[in-house]
Every structure is written in C-alpha cells, then in structure tokens.
Amino acid sequence: MSNIRDVADAAGVSPATVSRVLNGKATSLVSEATRERVLDAAQSLGYHPSAAARALVAGRTDTIALATTNIHDPHYARALDVAQAIAEEFGYHLLLMPDADDTRLQSLLRERRADVIVRLRYPVDTADEVAAAVVSEEQVVIAVGPIDRQMPLSTPCACWDDREGIRAAVEHLAGLGHRRVAFLAGRPAQRKERYALEAAGADMTIVPVCIEPGSLDDVGRGAALARLALQREPGVTALLAQNDTFALGALHALREDGIAVPGQVSVVGYNDTFLAPYSCPPLTTVRTPLAECVSRSLRQVMEALSTQHGAVQPQSLQLHTELVVRASTACPPTT
C-alpha cells in the first residue's frame, strides 16, 4: 500500500509537492516538469490519498448519509435513487442508515462520518435532536417528510402536507358518491387516518381498519386489510390505503375474492409509486413529492457547500401532493 511519501520518493520530490500536484489548486504553483513526474509516479504506484487521513486534516468526509426506513418499498427506493445520483454528481459518497433511534444518527454526526445527512421524518415537525447535535461548520442536516403542523418548526425542512393529499382522495371518493370508506392503516391512530376523519364531510363515514405487521409482507398486509374491511364493515364501497403497497395487496385480494374493482369496490392508494400505473386495474392514488423534496433540497445544499464556505443552511421547501385518477375508482354500485 503506497502512501504519499512513496510517491514523493519515486518522483524525487517532497510529500508537500505531491500533495500540491494532486490537489492542484493553482496550477502555476508547481513547475510543469515536476508536475508530470509526480503524476507519473502516482499513476504507476496506483496511489490514492487515504480518505481517513484526508478527512482528519480537512474536517470533511465527502459523504452524504441517508437515513430512511423501508428501503425495499418502491417509494423510498426512489428517494434513494435520487440521492445516489446527486451524490455521484458532486463526487460524494452515499452512506445508508436505517432510520433507527436518534442516538445512532447523532453518533454518526459526532464521529464525523458524513458532512450531510438527509433524514426522512414522520412527521417532519417533531423536535429534532439530531439536527441539534450538529457541531462542525460543515455539517448539515436536511429533514424531509410530511408536515403535521403540530408545532412550530425550529429548523428548516423539505416537506409536503399529507392532509392535502388525503383530503383530495376523500373528496374524490365523496364526489363519486361513496358514503362509507375504509381506511387501510398499518397501525391504529396514524396521522393519515386522522386526516381522513377530518376530511370526511357529514355525509361520509371513515372506518379505520388496521393489522399489526406480524409475519406478512406489506402487500400481504394490504390484502388482509381489504378482506378484514369488507367482512367486518358492511356497506363499505371504497378502500383508502395508507400507501400503494397496501393498495396493491387490496387489489389482489379483491380480485381473488371475485369482487370487481371499481365496479363493486373502489380502491385508492397513496404515494404513486412506479407500479401504480401498471396494476390491475391501474391505481388511482396520490402523488407525494418525497423524491422531489430530496432532490431539490439536497442539490441546493450541495451547491451551497461547493461554492460558499461558511455554514450552510438548507432552505425550507413545501411542495404539493397531487391526486392521480386512474381506473381503480368509480361510482359505487347502485343497489
């Protein structure tokens, strides 16, 4: 394993000169002749500066950390894709963290393993101890997630309002004439369930249904939820799922049980993952700007970091959700 001194020896110069050549701030600071000798030596030795040593002295790691849950869910996978692309564009590396307890993320910052940390939070406006743990001038925490407006925001974030998305879905169903809608939830008393109840007018009833994770995968849970809803809640003519994955499971269950969608029961998803247009029938769902939020806020921070020199603040950003009507919703059957 060759270090800077090996290269220096091979080129017959000092380590300082090698460093100058390789970091090449001002080209004029070193003569063309030695410059070439150094480059040759580095090349033939296969030399690369140690990231650790460099980070130690520079105080930067050229690393972006992404903290998120459910990487297997297509919705989050897309955010990952976006972050990956931006990291590459700026010559950074991408560190992946499960969205575990704040403790782990804090130590990530304190150990200075990343300069930028993108954090998916549900909801985004809860006290953020991780952001408070920022120490170095170069460290930035970007919070991304749905905003719940429960408390004033102490730090900037990139967000959207699920209230808006859920309302659009509920009103869409109400407009079609549905009066009794089951909300397919992962766990009891979720945020979105609350929004659905808020959005329902006097002539609409929202019936929450939930199932603990257990041994099922997410699609399987969606299927189980759909069956539970129709069996336990007579009169339900539409299912509003917490996410597209559940909705896909619901579609599957209904198909298996011979219940026509949207003829007998309508189904609405959430997030508009890439599968939604291809389901059977194509899924009516709400597009959520997660990937866009990650993309915009991360890019803004990276650009600031690459030009500016002092502390960098992510700009706050709120984008809109959008109802995407496809073929899984229609008027309820006229009995």
Quick one: which of 159, 124, 142, 187 has its CA closest to 289? 159
15 near its own copies, judged by CB under 8 A: no
Selected binder of DNA within 9, 19, 123, 205 (CB under 7 A)? 19
Stretch that binds DNA, among 49-57, 187-195, 208-216, 221-229 (CB under 7 A): 49-57
Rounded Cα–Cα distance for residues 246 and 244 (Å): 5
Rule CB under 7 A: is residue 20 a binding residue for DNA? Answer: yes
Query: Where does this chain touch its own copies (CB under 8 A) — which range of 22-30, 89-97, 185-193, 317-325?
Result: 89-97
- Burial environment of residue 170 by CB neighbours within 10 A (0 to 12, 13 to 18, 19 or more): buried
Q: Is 93 in the site for its own copies (CB under 8 A)?
A: yes
Nearest-CA neighbor of 237 among 218, 219, 260?
Answer: 260
Q: What's the sign of the alpha-carbon dihedral 252, 255, 256, 257?
A: positive
Residue 131 tokens, joined = 């952001």
Task: Collect contacts of 313-318 with beta carbons under 8 A, ≥24 apart.
Answer: 313/140, 313/156, 314/140, 314/141, 314/142, 314/143, 314/156, 314/157, 314/158, 315/156, 316/153, 316/156, 316/157, 316/158, 317/157, 317/158, 317/159, 317/293, 318/147, 318/158, 318/159, 318/160, 318/161
- Asked if omega into 281 is within 30° of 0 (cis), the reply is yes
One of 29, 96, 151, 280 touching DNA (CB under 7 A): 29
236 is in the binding site of which of its own copies, DNA, none (Cβ under 5 to 8 A by kind)?
none
- Determine, following the binding rule CB under 8 A, whether residue 74 of this chain makes contact with its own copies: yes
For the window 258-297, what string marks contact with its own copies as x by the rule CB under 8 A? Answer: ----------------xx-xxxx-----------------
Span from 27-35, 40-48, 151-159, 303-311 in contact with its own copies (CB under 8 A): 40-48
For the CB of residue 310, give the shortest distance to DNA in the complex, in Å.
16
Distance CA(167)–CA(195), nearest Å, equals 7
Which residue among 77, 174, 228, 259 contacts its own copies (CB under 8 A)?
Answer: 77
Q: Does 16 bind DNA (CB under 7 A)?
A: yes
- Residue in 45, 49, 94, 171 binding DNA, rule: CB under 7 A: 49
The residue within the footprint of DNA, chosen from 9, 30, 90, 220 (CB under 7 A), is 30
Structure tokens at 175: 């407009």
Contacts with DNA, residue ranges (CB under 7 A): 1, 3-5, 12-20, 22-23, 28-31, 33-35, 47-50, 53-54, 56-58
Interacting residues toward its own copies by CB under 8 A: 1, 46-53, 55-56, 61, 63, 71-72, 74, 77-78, 80-81, 84, 88, 93-98, 100, 106-107, 110-113, 133, 135-136, 217, 219, 223, 248-249, 251-252, 255, 274-275, 277-280
